[in-house]
Amino acid sequence: MKERQAALLACYKDGSLLLDARDFEKPARFYLAPADVFPWDEFIGKLLCAWQLCDYSDVPPQFKPLKRIPQYVIDGLPAETTANKLKVLATLRSQGYFSALTARK
């Protein structure tokens, strides 16, 4: 139960996340459960920048667009609550903008 610096590597159907630590602490890779705290607002802000620049080099595969995200979504997402932002991402995924999530191995 402590704050860590990490990069998101994968997102799974059950809502768990695989992270790669950037703070030189152990474990170097770890999972977060859906109930754990994750900085979604900060992450989604970085996604928006990547989507606008079409630079997906640091974007986890589960959030790389398979087709162009509508501009009204990119423009409106920052004004939404965190819960609504997550709903928008889920809706985009269900509409084929992102690949389907896999089960955690």
- 81-101 tens-digit pLDDT: 999 999 999 999 999 999 999
Give pLDDT, residue 23.
92
Residue 1 has pLDDT above 90, yes or no: no
Please work out, in degrees rounded to the nearest 5, the angle formed at the alpha carbon of residue 29 by the alpha carbons of 26 and 31: 110
Compute the average pLDDT of residues 25-39: 94
User: What does pLDDT average to over the chain?
Assistant: 94
Alpha-carbon span 50 to 47, nearest angstrom: 5
Q: Measured on CA atoms in the order 23, 28, 29, 35, is the torsion positive or negative?
A: negative
Element (DSSP H or E) covering residue 19: strand 17-21
pLDDT given at position 17: 96
Band the pLDDT of 21: cuts 50, 70, 90: very high
Specify the pLDDT at position 105. 79
Question: How many Å apart are CA 3 and CA 77, to the nearest integer?
Answer: 26
Could you tell me the pLDDT band of residue 16, with boundaries at 50, 70 and 90? very high
Of all residues in the chain, the percent with pLDDT exceeding 70 is: 100
* Residue in the block written with tokens 């990119």: 74
